[in-house]
Structure 1
Amino acid sequence: MFNKILIANRGEIAVRIIRACREMGIKTVAVYSEADRDALHTQLADEAVCIGPAQAADSYLDMEKIISATIITKAEAIHPGFGFLSENSRFATLCEKCNIKFIGPDAALIESLGNKSEAKNTMQAAGVPVIPGTKKPVYDWQEGLKFADEAGYPVIVKAALGGGGKGMRVVSSHDEFEHEFLTAQRESESAFGDGTMYIEKYIVNPRHIEFQILADEHGNVIHLGERDCSIQRRHQKLIEESPSVAVDAGLRKRMGETAVRAAKTVGYKNAGTIEFLLDKDNNFYFMEMNTRIQVEHGVTEMVTGTDIVKEQIRIAAGLELSYRQEDIVIRGHAIECRINAEDAAHNFRPCPGTIGDIHIPGGNGIRIDTAVYPGCTIPPYYDSMIMKVVVCDRDRQSAINKMISTLGEVVIDGLTTNLDFMYELLHEADYRNGRIDTGYIERHNL
């Protein structure tokens, strides 16, 4: 097992990883930008190293500084969390060259699976159903337009190396294509430093169902059931649940076995997520694979009793999985709400600032993942997420009621949040009855 791990991230995921390491008796190193000097993850880690100015490009995305901090502090491994460099194959390669263990799959897998067009081709060859799309990366809008015109509209333009809803645009007609493609490409270049795009046929109002995968270096691969991430705004997830009301035992078995087969086919190792789109006729299609821990991993942990971060570390250390497939039993229903510093009444514009008083509720079946405290600042340079509120109860309706009660107790003074928006959404009749899909927010004018 590792003696010391550097966490190449910030915010609540850095805190989450530090806590897992402490429970495993592993020392931790935090890295931080000048804007995060007083951040919670810097205070909880055994050591903290400043790696540059506030802008992510000069700090959390600076590979050489992070590698240098790892070498200087004599950490043996790097946990990248999610976002930033977590799916960057070049960073994973640098770790390998410097004899630093990257807690995730190897660089070659990140490269092949992180590129959406390559991943789709790989999955199709493995017998996994896929959505029709470009077979090669697309670099200019004229090239993409040819595919879109042939496939028929709507299509979706995606950052080939992206995630988190950034660099994505739905295009409804020939005339819109150039503008939407170039807009998505600029977002991709800004967020991921890469303008390679991918285009596929857009399935209208599907459910977004993803399966959590764990795979060790001894050939063991299991899934931890599904998460329903259909409640989204502009491809950014807002609420996640496990299990999905749309997935019965038979469909779960088929989708889970497909996800495991896909992971085995590519020789995947560590934690990953196979994401599917599920249409109204229960046909499912591979969408992409995330080669990292997911923001919403907590809902899976709540219903399965697992610890995905600890398993990531164990796998990276060469140990076998702690679980077999038959050990995984889904108990109850878990829901996660992402609470962000944003103004829902004004097109969800970011609202950075300093937190005044804050009250974080607790109780049976309640989990709050956060890195905030009274007097801390939500800077304008990074993601606006303040906390993830996760609840678990015996069934979906009980979990919804528990979430409403929990959100009703949350107090965050000093800045505008989406708390009221989430509270009202949970009262929507269609949401409560499970009539949800990826177009829910726009269709309900929320």
Structure 2
Amino acid sequence: MEIAVKFGQFLLSLSLLIVLHELGHFIPAKIFKTKVEKFYLFFDVKFSLFKKKIGETVYGIGWLPLGGYVKIAGMIDESMDTETMKQEPQPWEFRSKPAWQRLIIMLGGVTVNFILAFLIYIGMAYAYGDYYVKNSEVKDGVWVQNPVVEKAGIQTGDKILSIDNKKVDKFSSAIMSDLLMAKTVEIERNGTPQTITLPQNFIGQFIDADKRNAISLRMPFAVGGLADDSKNKDVLKAKDIVVELNGQPVKYFDQAPKILETYKGKTIPGVVLRDNKRVPVQLNVNAEGKLGVALGAIKEDNLTRLGYYKFSRESYSFFESIPVGIDKGIEQLAGYGRQLKAIFTPSTGAAKGVGGFYAIFNIFPEEWSWQVFWAITAMLSIVLGVMNLLPIPALDGGHVMFLLYEMISGRKPSDKFLERAQMVGFFLLIGLVLFANGNDIYKLFFK
């Protein structure tokens, strides 16, 4: 059932982005009286799942969910319809239109992608507001769960003060992505500030470690469940919070392993918080220095009630949400630009993190959440827009590059040149797709 929910979100998001992107090409083409022969969601290699001709355009759904397309008459695109290009240009064809009109048609898809992302962020600011922990509330520092982050010099209990000289005011999931792109991070350890210079291949090391939760809020030792072979099945209950081990206070889960390590195979006294009462228990530590329990999640309001963190909520009116959403969109766009730069810089090792369709599928949660769905869709819309702007023939950016050359020089590239460029671009794209999805396969089966 969880896979079906993930797949449903993935398919809905992908379909929405593809249809709107292609509409971005379709609408200006129609405005400039350019014939659009096909409008397809997914690719119709050999056959279509559905198709219907309305007017001069065939609308359809293909079976191969690798994208979508509009086939514009008189345009050299992925269809490579060279026979049509040998005939005399017709007034309704793309090649007969002025360069500025062709430029608008080609930029329409990415324009819609960026507008969509900003509209989603504005809508999310209005509907959900902001929910976060002020960085000043993280009094006992962060929880570091990744050996690569520890090796870089950041430890559990450190307070993150700034990243690349930008002060951290809010502690959120974005802090890790900012850290991955950073060169320096300022921390406070035992009351003393210090600056840590991160290694150039920090991203690559992080990807190789294959751990997602690298830095997070420190959490109480809440019991989520017990293993079948746990000797504490009759001692502990789900939702218990371990607060003391052999007389030593345990405020956070990360403090427990060091204490338990010294009592392997022994029974020690402990105290748990159960129904808001301190309950003494006798805990059995196994040979590995563990209690045989899984860490449980605690809701934000309970964390506040227990005195761990105070969560802040900011609500916005419709007009207030507009600049907030725009700022969020600009922040995400700039962040993805930094990621793209890192990917094309071999020394960072970021290329190892490039993923294909499985990676996209995997970022959707197993439970349906409209808030998460729209956040991911907005992010993917920015990714799609930026990727399509890359100056690679066969992408929108490649067409734009040649159109700008034509407008500046006054010379239009020959159809033969454009056909060859399209083929080169096509093979480059195939290579990128194979590389990205090959990364997915490697991670799935070999890591």
User: Could you say which TM-score interval applies, normalised by the shorter chain?
Assistant: under 0.3
| Structure with bigger gyration radius | 2
Q: Which has the higher contact order (CA 8 A, sep 6+)?
A: 2
Higher helix share: 2
TM-score, normalised by the number of residues in structure 1: 0.22
TM-score, normalised by the number of residues in structure 2: 0.22
